[in-house]
Amino acid sequence: MKGESNDLVDTSLVLSQFSKRKKVAIELYREFVRE
């Protein structure tokens, strides 16, 4: 049970970091396209 909850937390952390990176990547891409 403890391990499962830890995995869940790790997964949510990874997903949140991934979504943040995705937003940054999209913004960088937009800037690049504008130039």
6-22 burial code (b ≥16 CB/10 A, e <16):
eeeeeeeeeeeeeeeee
Nearest-angstrom CA–CA distance, 30 and 13: 26
Structural domain including 9 reads: 1-35
Q: What is the pLDDT of residue 2?
A: 65
- Residues (pLDDT < 50) of the chain are none
The structural domain count of the chain equals 1
pLDDT on residue 3? 65
* Model pTM score: 0.53
Confidence at residue 23, expressed as pLDDT on a 0 to 100 scale: 96
